Amino acid sequence: MATVAVIGGGLAGLAAGCALADRGYRVTILESRPRLGGRASSFEDRESGELIDNCQHVAMGCCTNYLHFCRVLGIDGFLERQRELHFVDRSGTISRFRPSRWLPSPLHLAGPLVSLKYLTFQDKKSISEAMRRLVALSRTTREHVVSEKFLQEFDITEEDLDAKRATWNDRLTFQEFLESCGQSEHVIRTFWHVVLVSALSESLDNISFKQGAQVFIDGFLRNRHGWEVHIPTVPLEEFYGESLERWFSDRGGIIQTNAGVESLALSERGKIRSIQLRDGREIEADHVIVSVPWHRVLDLLPSELQLKYQPLSEIPAAPISSVHLWLDREITDLPHAVFVDHLSQWMFNRTRLDQHLKNKKSFYYQIVISASGNLKTMTQQEIIERVLGDLRSVFPAVAEAELLNSRVVTEHKAVFSPRPGIESARPSQSTPIENLHLAGDWTETGWPATMEGAVRSGYLAAESVLKQEGVDETVLQPDLVTGKLVRWMYQLETT
């Protein structure tokens, strides 16, 4: 069988290597860091001595490829599925978002939407109408339902709608879409903002309509299980650690950490001949998959490809910050909470979620703030005080709690920014060099910068390798089945 070298041990590279190793290919994964997982990794906190994640990572039920990847590797047992979400508003009132396990989509959302206590009946009615328009705009067929003012503003007529749809769906911001639907500032701030900023790590005026619409369609409407949240119950270093390495080893695979790549060398026939490592070693392989963040790709690609992939350098990044707090007492028995109209966005009660942290003397909480560019003018202490204020306003026990340890971790280039027009800069997994392939959530996957997008890209890169080897096989997993009722109500195509 052919040999494959994967540059990068993040989710995309691991997914590509997993798919190919499982099919008998001899895979070597080269990771420059001392651990696997890429941006989904852990480090040791010196004060507590515990492994903590650089940022809390979660998956949804609609992430069919990521969940398949975990099942294949046998690490799905480290995921805990949440049956309900807990939304906490500024008054401290908790709304339990628990979609029906029996009603078909989209009726499974009726009860949970009604349960959001901080929204009025009129708010919920307007959200439902905007959701209907969102689906209509996302279709490639059927008359759309936006206002005449919207059509005039973006120079779109009924006659040329289908021809223009692919272009303007990606240049329209989600904020513009919401304003065209007449969504109030309160609804935008307490509903649309809460969901999308956490999912895409960008402000609504920088999120393309296409990317935002997909979150709601695949995550909430298409299938009643799409919304379900899966949270790791061990640190990410353990999640992508020894068991994963054993899996690769059992299939003849090799994982090399601390193996930074310097460059790729071309042969006279125009194929990748070898990989030059920073320590002077040279590795040969029949195929090479480059799976590094988009802002590092150009540093590795041969000069012959620099112009073609230059647009990657223009893709902006979006930051995500995590605030890690250790308190002397438990402030809530909730495993997680979604904060509405606060600086804090998600709280994860790691002491309850993590298999290794139960029965400890301190209680560990991680608070996630996506699209955290506005924090750069604040000191770490100021950020911590703001987050503690958020927690204090929701959980009274915080007022009596002692802060034992804290730290703020910001991943400045956590994901690419899902701005309008970004799709045209995302390349295919195949390249003009037949034995060179690309993987990364930034490649053309049809998904935003998520763990699902990363795994999809890895599977597509594996398909690219298989195609070059003369094997016509689909590695990508199917999406959740579109419910019959939602297909009828919204004329939503199945995928």
Q: Region 285-312: what's the mean pLDDT?
A: 95
172 shares a domain with 133: yes
Checking DSSP bridges between strand 229-232 and strand 79-82, what pairing results, if any? antiparallel
pLDDT at position 139: 62
Identify the weakest region by mean pLDDT among 49-58, 136-145, 334-343, 431-440.
136-145
323 shares a domain with 452: no
Is residue 350 within 8 Å of residue 330, measured between CB atoms?
no
Q: What is the CATH number of the domain that holds 426?
A: 3.50.50.60
Residue-wise pLDDT for 171-185, tens only, equals 789 998 899 888 999
372 shares a domain with 292: no
Closest CA to 65 of 16, 5, 138, 8: 16
The count of other CB atoms within 10 Å of the CB of residue 415 is: 24
306 shares a domain with 170: no
282 inside domain: yes
263 shares a domain with 143: no
Residue-wise pLDDT for 224-275, tens only, equals 999 999 999 988 888 888 888 999 999 999 999 999 999 999 998 889 999 9
208 shares a domain with 277: no
| Residue 279 clears pLDDT 60, i.e. is over it | yes
Checking DSSP bridges between strand 403-416 and strand 317-327, what pairing results, if any? antiparallel
Closest CA to 327 of 399, 272, 386: 399
Residue-wise pLDDT for 130-172, tens only, equals 998 888 777 643 333 344 555 565 565 655 555 555 555 567 8
Residues of the domain holding 343: 317-416
Is residue 123 within 8 Å of residue 184, measured between CB atoms?
yes
Q: How many domains is the chain built from?
A: 3
Checking DSSP bridges between strand 26-30 and strand 3-7, what pairing results, if any? parallel
| Residue 114 clears pLDDT 50, i.e. is over it | yes
CA distances from 397 to 144, 155, 312, 328, 394 (A): 50, 55, 47, 11, 9
309 shares a domain with 381: no
Q: What is the CATH number of the domain that holds 382?
A: 3.90.660.10
172 shares a domain with 205: yes
Query: Cα 211–126–165 angle (5° rounding)?
Result: 35
Domain boundary (181, 201, 225) is at 225
As a whole number, the mean pLDDT across the chain is 90
Task: Give kind and range of the element (H or E) at residue 262.
Answer: strand 261-266
370 shares a domain with 242: no
143 shares a domain with 270: no
DSSP code, position 306: T
The count of other CB atoms within 10 Å of the CB of residue 481 is: 12
pLDDT at position 144: 38
193 inside domain: yes
- 47 forms bridges with which residues in the sheet? none
79 inside domain: no
Domain boundary (225, 259, 282) is at 225
108 shares a domain with 241: no
pLDDT at position 458: 98
476 inside domain: no
Q: Among all chains, which residue has been given the structure tokens 């963040």?
A: 293
448 shares a domain with 374: no
